[in-house]
Amino acid sequence: MSEPITFAKLSGSGNDHICLDNRDGRFDEVLALPERVGHFVRTLCQRGLGVGADGLIFVGLPRNPKEADVGVHHFDPDGTEAELCGNGSACLVRWAIESGWVAGREVRMETPSGIVRGREDVERYIHVCIPEPSELQADVQVTAACRQWTLDYAVTGTPHVVAYVDDVERVDVARWGAAIRHHRRFAPRGVNVNFTQVLGVGELAVRTFEFGVEAETLACGTGSTTAALMAARRFGWPKDFTCGGKPVRIHVRSGDTLKVYFLIEDDGTIVKVCLESLVRFLYTGQLHPELSARALEERHVQH
């Protein structure tokens, strides 16, 4: 790739993402090889030596233009592709709208998890609706970090567990999160871990250990969504919160408050799941040729 690499940097409630425009196919060769794209993503996401981010997003053309405006590939900073990222999707929506890629204020995104719809709301909040959660399991018992845990599990694009705690401020997220994330119960891929304190009906505080980042992040969109869904089920919250009328409010490590809307049907199926995240446009930039060359160098790729 000879042309300069330009990017946008946005943050969804503290979850920061590098966004790259691949609508002309300029990154297709990089994306074609898992080893190569993995090295590229790791290089750019590394804090201190790269741009630094919780994830990287390639935005391309959709396979089916009738159903989606853009095709999206989310990558974790360890170079692995994620099926879905809630806050990343919110960042992408604001970027696409401000770049003029869509005619209105709504963006349809084609992801490995399905079509994700997002729209601009008020006060920089982005409203994103994700595919229905799956594989819901309550009371999953594991022993990790010398503790017995009772977890709720669900896949909201990516796999998550909810660990209920009395005080999120006293949680050893790094140690406990890593232990649960790597537990054999969730092998081989692992699981994201959301330590969740119930502050009241419809209100939670959440700290998340994210795989791929392998550390606590300031927010996690799909993790906050999972915590809201599973807490509502576990504690039998009233219909105000389970019929899509009022949002569950999630206080995250960045200090922002995310909002989650959903509908729990009579048979327990959860549908119409939507997340609102506060998106900040941080900056646009151009990689220095030295960093571009390091990210694209093929000597790291094993054929």
Which residues have a Cβ under 8 Å from the Cβ of 270 and sit 6 or more positions away?
132, 133, 136, 229, 262, 263, 264
Name the residue type at position 127. Answer: H
Q: Pick the catalytic residue: 19, 91, 220, 274?
A: 220
Distance (Å, rounded) from C-alpha 264 to C-alpha 134?
13
Which residues have a Cβ under 8 Å from the Cβ of 265 and sit 6 or more positions away?
271
Active site residue 243: no
Q: Pick the catalytic residue: 19, 45, 85, 91?
A: 85
Residue among 22, 12, 18 at smallest CA distance from 77: 18
Name the residue type at position 219. Answer: A
Residue among 50, 35, 9, 7 at smallest CA distance from 291: 50
**Is-contact 74 82, C-beta < 8 A?**
yes
Active site residue 220: yes
Distance (Å, rounded) from C-alpha 217 to C-alpha 200?
23
Which residues have a Cβ under 8 Å from the Cβ of 144 and sit 6 or more positions away?
176, 179, 180, 183
> Which two three-digit tokens encode residue 264?
């729990």
In DSSP terms, 147 is beta-bridged to 144
Q: Is the peptide bond before 238 cis (omega within 30 degrees of 0)?
A: no
In DSSP terms, 159 is beta-bridged to 155
Is the torsion defined by CA of 27, 29, 31, 34 positive or negative?
negative
**Is-contact 213 76, C-beta < 8 A?**
yes
> Which two three-digit tokens encode residue 299?
């000597």
| Residues involved in catalysis | 85, 220
